[in-house]
Structure 1
Amino acid sequence: MHILIVDDVPENIQVAMNILKEGEHTFSFATRGGEALTIIEREAAQLDLVLLDIMMPDVDGYSVCQSVKENPATSAIPIIFLSAKSNVDALSKCFALGAVDYITKPFHAEELLARVKTHTELYRAKKLLQQSNIELSTKIKFEHRRLSSELEDNQKEMIAMLAGLMESASDETGQHIYRVSEISALLAHYHPALSADDVEVVRHAAPMHDIGKMMVPYEILHKPGRYTEEEFQQMQEHPAHAYKLLGGSGRQLIRAAATIAHEHHEKWNGKGYPRGLQGEEIHIYGRIVALADVFDALSHARSYKDAWSIEKVVAYIEDHNGTQFDPELVNIFVEHLDEFRAITHQ
């Protein structure tokens, strides 16, 4: 145990050291308050106790104690006052400043040894407990991150499985699902209000945008010709079906997928479906996937249509800027068109 002894009388320091050396302690010492504060700041990590006189020149023991306790780096170091003062006011002031004990001079060797042993062992125990708490907290944080990562991986795996099921059950192709995911992530990447975390959420949730089509009758979903009005109404129900399927989840990726599936057919001017949301009433994830889905769908052939040229697709998107699509997203799309075009060729 390392102890700092502070007393303006060197003989008192020597007496205390002679008594305490039986306990295999190491020592620092100071004869002035200012000197003591310098040593405490320098040796804070090694100090286990300060034995502090009250009456000293320049800076008295009260001021030293107050400075030590006000400094977060030294406030935990225990201080025992050693003083010839034995009145109640002095005693009360010492404890009020944060001292752990008070020994009146002249002191008995047994008393000094016993009190020093008690407080140094208590301080060491507190430091060990604090270190154990830090280690436990670190382990808990690591375990939380591990479990969160595992849960997120499980969500991603489940989304991939559902996307695969959707591919087999609907008119969506795996390539379209992949491209919509990458186009959406790129739009999110360039959006000034979205973070890197948002980009990854959009990337992994976007493949679920048409999961509700699994609840649309097969003969309607795969009809080669135009829909009747009744059939089109049934097709328009797939966002609501998706939300019923996914909306009850408390998991981030699944919640995002539910929002995207529910809102990616809404339009900026409020004339979309299923709820007729308008402008920023539509979640940014839904607005992103709405543009990504249309861009990729128009750029590739389907059973009921030929692929459009990239120029025709871009013209369509620009013509529907502010009506079907979010103007800010259209600007991002046009500004980085070469990057989006590259994804459509994958």
Structure 2
Amino acid sequence: MDVVIVDDNEINVTLLRHLVKAIEDTKAITFTDSAAGLQYCLENDPDLVVIDYMMPPPDGMAFIQAFRAHPGRKNTPLLMITANQDAEVRHRALTLGASDFLTKPVDKNEFRARATNMLLLRKSQKQLADRAAWLAEEVAKATNEVLVRERETIIRLSKAAEYRNPETGAHILRMANYSQVIARNLGLSEADQTLLLDAAPMHDIGKVGTPDHILLKPGRLDPEEMDIMRQHASIGYDILKGSPSPLLQKAAVIALTHHEKFDGSGYPNNLKAQDIPIDGRIVAVADVFDALTSERPYKKAWPVDDAVKFMHENSGSHFDPVCIEAFFRNWDEIMAIKNRFTD
């Protein structure tokens, strides 16, 4: 363990160096220039600092103050050696952060005992810090494993829905990545962007509860069939709600609200404007654009220019204008996503 000795008297430094060497598993690093010693202690991480009180600037008090003010030096043991018997000096040094005192002339047995105790304390501090770091790493691993399992659940449920849904897996990837672009341009945090990317594929999970003759109908749905189709938003919410998982919580909100419209004419709850959660407003833009530009059994894909016109024309009615602006802000990136995930 590293013991730094700072004393402007070379004889004192030599004596203290020999006393430190007598302690098992220690290395003495010595300075007769207190400024150089302080600089070393700030740039390195000593296990024990032994300093003299009376030194040219910085003296022992100034040394302690600067040392303790440095990040990561709050708990490093610091032993002050002084010939001053004044209680006020000791009180001030303790207030500034000295761990213990020795009075000159230094008794070698007392020094060895005090230094050894401080080094044992330092060793325990390091072991505790290492244990804390290990625990933090293990918690991070466990948390990541949970997130991986959650993402796998999302993917598998989304795939299950695909078997009954004319939409493709590429649609899910495109609309999820479109959603992430919008979220980023809206200034959402990276964590929220990632959560949205992972949750968006679940937006139509409720279609597992839609009868095949409606879900797979090649023509336009009649009013009664449309009412049944629209139930998929509530069904999806019922499937996903109540989970302690932030991912599934967000997926539930998206499933319920991605068919709401900015003017209040959407479903299932006729929410309007800011009453629609931001994730629902984002996914509404991403989902409709990709649906328009993708081929389905019941329709041909729209030309991109026609879809762009539709999105702009419905800004403020179907779509949140802010989300529309965020969607088109990085148009090259949107087109790159479209071309990357092909049906």
Q: TM-score, normalised by structure 2?
A: 0.79
Q: Distance in 2 between matches of 1:38 and 1:276?
A: 72
Please state how far the C-alpha of 1:227 moved relative to its aligned partner.
3.5
Corresponding residue for residue 168 of structure 2: 173
Deviations 1:184-211 (A, max 9, x none): 334334x231344444333332221111
**1:4 is aligned to 2:1:** no
**1:81 is aligned to 2:75:** no
Structure 2: where are the runs of 5+ without partners? none
Q: Distance in 1 between matches of 2:96 and 2:193?
A: 53
Task: Please tell me the residue identity of whatever aligns with 1:145.
Answer: A
Corresponding residue for residue 241 of structure 1: 235
Q: Which moved more, 1:160-169 or 1:131-140?
A: 131-140
Q: Distance in 2 between matches of 1:164 and 1:141?
A: 34
Q: TM-score, normalised by structure 1?
A: 0.78
Matches within 5 A, 1:1-346: 2=3, 4=5, 6=7, 13=12, 20=19, 23=22, 26=28, 28=30, 30=32, 35-43=33-41, 45-46=45-46, 48-50=48-50, 52=52, 68-69=67-68, 76-83=76-83, 86=85, 92=91, 95-104=94-103, 112-189=107-184, 191-337=185-331, 339-341=333-335, 343-344=337-338, 346=342
Deviations 1:125-184 (A, max 9, x none): 233223223322332232233222222221221111111111112333334333323333
Percent identity between the aligned chains?
31
RMSD of the TM alignment (CA)?
Answer: 3.6
**Number of corresponding residues:** 333
Please state how far the C-alpha of 1:95 moved relative to its aligned partner.
4.5
Greater gyration radius? 1
Q: Distance in 1 between matches of 2:227 and 2:114?
A: 80
Structure 1 pair 257–86 and aligned structure 2 pair: CA distance change class (3 A): closer
Any idea what SS the aligned residue of 2:296 has? coil
Report if aligned partners of 1:205, 1:257 keep a CA contact under 8 Å in 2.
Answer: yes
Task: Please tell me the residue identity of whatever aligns with 2:22.
Answer: G
Structure 1: where are the runs of 5+ without partners? none
Q: Distance in 1 between matches of 2:66 and 2:333?
A: 61
Please state how far the C-alpha of 1:277 moved relative to its aligned partner.
1.6
Please state how far the C-alpha of 1:320 moved relative to its aligned partner.
0.9
Please state how far the C-alpha of 1:244 moved relative to its aligned partner.
1.3
Please state how far the C-alpha of 1:273 moved relative to its aligned partner.
0.9
Please state how far the C-alpha of 1:66 moved relative to its aligned partner.
5.1
Task: Please tell me the residue identity of whatever aligns with 2:276.
Answer: I
Report if aligned partners of 1:166, 1:172 keep a CA contact under 8 Å in 2.
Answer: no
Task: Please tell me the residue identity of whatever aligns with 1:52.
Answer: D
Deviations 1:101-125 (A, max 9, x none): 4455566xxxx22321122112222
Structure 1 pair 115–49 and aligned structure 2 pair: CA distance change class (3 A): farther
